[in-house]
Amino acid sequence: MKNTLLNRVAASTRKVTESITRLIKNSRLADKLPERLLRGNTPAYVAAGTCAVALSAAAFFATMDYELYIDGKAIGAVDKKSEVYQAIENIKKSVPKELGSDIKIGQKIELKGVHVADSKLLSASNLEKKIKSGIDLQVDAYGIKAQGKLVVALKSEAEAKKVLELLKQPYTKKQDNASSIKTDFLQKVEIEKLQADIGLVKTPQRAVEYIKTGGHELHTYTVQAGDTTWSISEKFKIGVSQIQDANPGTNIENLQIGQTISLSLPKPFISVKTTQDIAYEERIPFNVVYEDTSAMYKGDKKVKAEGEEGLKKVQAKQIMVDGVIASTTVINEDIVKAPKDNIIVQGIKERPKTLAFGAFITPTRGRFTSPFGRRWGRMHTGIDLAAPIGTPIVAADGGKVTFAGWKNGYGKIIIVNHENGYQTYYGHCSSFSVKAGDRVYRGQNIGSVGNTGRSTGPHLHFEVRKGGSPVNPKKYI
């Protein structure tokens, strides 16, 4: 009984050993063929022996499966290793021919023996999808680096050089006023042979576009009065959805004035810098010089000499970045024509108080009762200011009293000549405190309000005459 049992165990162990040997053989055979497909990594063969410890029945070995790992991360299980090799072959075949046939995988791919239920095995199409999203296909390429950072890659060095030429091309023609132009890059730009992800490998034209517009830089924008999300999108040539993306959690449909938002604006990865030696003519503004004279009163001015602009020839170094002037440094200036000063003489002599300022003040405190102009079928040549008899009347500006007496209609009237083309009339007075020939200053008491002449009540009739003709005093006081 005991023997029989031992024999059975021995027989079973023999079977297990046979199965392991077969599996190792099969496995090695299977591994050898597609090994070249895998790059630089040690395919992980799981020693079948270690499995055997945990296994008790030979039948189980026949259903050995494989777990696929990409850079140490489990992706799923397959029935046969060849399924994985086939999927990788398919993925490689889908790479456009122009990128060449020497395609490598950037990740470490491993297969480890496992046992899973058939229902858990990946289908061929699912397997391909999962591998495709987990790996980077790489090709030999020439990368363009800016400040040490890889921007794009080209299939050949010639193409990479062409891209740099195409970037510079629009900025190689010197301005009409430039004697020389130097075109280079703002950043440190290098071409380097490398292994590049196929997504980075572009045609020269696409590479140029990408370098010019592919980068982004975050800017802060303060919402102005009248801004809408739409107008901001138009102004900066970016989509409304891009504005939303740059401002998560902000209701961009309801912007407030003064609110700050982020804008992700295109920025070239590589900028072209041009340095030009330019020459141009520039106007020189004239100075304004004041000269004092005691021959004129304070506040009076006269142009003695008109100013004239000068002209100079300027040589400068102009730096532009992507066609926009960044700086202009003047190197030399030759004056072709010197500017001429604008000379203005100004009076310093103390101005007598009795000289006109050229502006009138209201001659009495009173109620405005009648305007200048046509009234009751006849012309009213001044304005009327009603005030009690005896209310002081003052000179509206400095000048000389030319008349203080009786005139038909006006009654007692004072006339002041301001000696600047203007005269003022003060009618219906009750009394005078000046006489013809007196000089008066602005605000000086010259008489008092009355009801003399053609008057229906105590008031001042005030007239302003320009060149002898009455004008509307309201325009002057």
Q: What is the binding site for Zn ion (CB under 5 A)?
A: 384, 461
**What's the min distance (Å) between Cβ of 440 and Zn ion?**
22
**What's the min distance (Å) between Cβ of 342 and Zn ion?**
47
**What's the min distance (Å) between Cβ of 452 and Zn ion?**
12
**What's the min distance (Å) between Cβ of 408 and Zn ion?**
14
- C-alpha 31/C-alpha 45 separation (Å) is 9
Query: 49 or 373, CB closer to Zn ion?
Result: 373
Give the residue at shortest CB distance from Zn ion. 461
β-partners of residue 111 are 68
Query: 237 or 378, CB closer to Zn ion?
Result: 378
**What's the min distance (Å) between Cβ of 379 and Zn ion?**
11
Look up residue 172 and give its two tokens.
């190689």
- C-alpha 8/C-alpha 19 separation (Å) is 17
Query: 312 or 461, CB closer to Zn ion?
Result: 461
User: Coil, strand, or helix at residue 85?
Assistant: helix
Q: Residues of 168-191 as b/e, b for ≥16 C-beta within 10 angstroms? A: beebeebeeebeebebeebbebeb
241: left (phi over 0), alpha (psi -120 to 50) or beta: alpha
Please compute Rg for the chain using Cα positions. Answer: 50
Query: 384 or 438, CB closer to Zn ion?
Result: 384
Give the residue among 110, 101, 168 at the shortest CA–CA distance from 134.
110
**What's the min distance (Å) between Cβ of 461 and Zn ion?**
3
Q: 419 near 400, Cβ under 8 Å? A: yes
Give the residue among 228, 197, 198, 218 at the shortest CA–CA distance from 264.
218
Q: Residues of 228-244 as b/e, b for ≥16 C-beta within 10 angstroms? A: ebeebbeebebeeeebe
User: Coil, strand, or helix at residue 132?
Assistant: helix
DSSP for 192-208 reads EEEEEEGGGB--HHHHH
Q: 220 near 214, Cβ under 8 Å? A: no
Query: 212 or 461, CB closer to Zn ion?
Result: 461
**What's the min distance (Å) between Cβ of 370 and Zn ion?**
6
Query: 442 or 461, CB closer to Zn ion?
Result: 461
**What's the min distance (Å) between Cβ of 472 and Zn ion?**
13
Query: 183 or 381, CB closer to Zn ion?
Result: 381
Query: 107 or 381, CB closer to Zn ion?
Result: 381
